[in-house]
Amino acid sequence: MTDNLTPPMVDAQQAPTSPRGNGLAVAGFVTALVALALSLVPIINNAAFVLALVGLGLAVGGVIKARRGAPRKGLAIAGIIIAVLAGAAVLASQAFYGSVMDEVSDSLDSTPTVAEEDDAAVEGDAASAAPEEPAEPSEEAAPEQDAAEGTRANPYTVGETVSNDEWTVTLGQPYEAWEQIRAENEFNEPPADGMEYWIVPLEATYTGSESATAWVDLTVRFVGEDSVTYDDISCGVIPDDLSNVGELYEGGTAAGNVCLVVPAGAPGLWTLTAGWFADPVFFAVG
């Protein structure tokens, strides 16, 4: 008996499928790249901004398609980045070109035209050609305005009391004091040739709300007839030195001497500055 042999069933082989493409990624990348290349070109960059938007949309579509199995995901992401850069470059370049145009426009507006220059020249010629009318003589010449008190042009007189928000000060009569200084300390050196030691007595009351030190806050200087300020205080040891008075509180009074090295005879004015940021006031010997 012959067995019936059934031939084995052979499954038909399926034809291999080709991988799916991602045209959106390619199109988005290329469009964004073109937009970036045109983003800095004046006028044309208006169209580049539109291309950047289109490229951005295509590239986003390419990413979505890649998530579903399509290739070129990296190319799609690159398209998104380039599209964003292209849009930003368009906005930045347009802002720059706009500012340049505004500057050019302003310069053109401020530049006189030929007609304006001609009119100005005619007006100038007419003004120069017209004879000037003689000024009517005034019955009395206007007096010059007096300079403010305490200035170099209108100094106080030594002995007058001056004050500000923190100090009330009286500057005493300055005097040549080498003999007195030599008697104070035998080691004091004499002044240089042509110079003298002059002592200025000073009395000051502190009127501020905190505290202060007279020899720190109050500065005496000499301005000679040569318009030079003399501020050398190296007279040596002097009697009743103001620096020996300590810190003062409101209502406290300091009395003492300051000494300056000045030209012989002291031809000029004395100044007093009361406070670090105050202006000096001038005094003349009466």
Per-residue pLDDT tens digits for 64-77: 878 887 788 888 78
- For the chain, helix (H) and strand (E) counts, in that order, are 6, 12
Q: How far apart are CA 267 and CA 196, in angstroms?
A: 12
More confident residue, 277 or 78: 78
Predicted structure pTM score: 0.50
pLDDT at 15: 45
Counting residues of the chain whose pLDDT is more than 70, the rounded percentage is 78
pLDDT at 109: 58
Alpha-carbon distance values, 179 to 91, 175, 196, 264, 266 (Å):
84, 11, 11, 14, 16
Question: Sign of torsion, CA 232 237 238 240?
Answer: positive
Tens of pLDDT, residue by residue over 237-283, are 999 999 999 999 999 999 999 999 999 999 999 999 998 888 999 99
In the predicted model, is pLDDT for residue 206 greater than 70? yes
Band of the pLDDT at 215, cuts 50, 70, 90?
very high
First-to-final CA distance of the chain = 163
pLDDT at 141: 44
More confident residue, 239 or 2: 239
In the predicted model, is pLDDT for residue 137 greater than 60? no
Query: 156-284 adopts what CATH topology?
Result: Immunoglobulin-like (2.60.40)
pLDDT at 130: 52
More confident residue, 117 or 123: 123
H or E stretch including 278? none
Taking all residues of the chain, what is their mean pLDDT, rounded to a whole number? 81
Domains of the chain: which residue ranges?
Answer: 23-108, 156-284
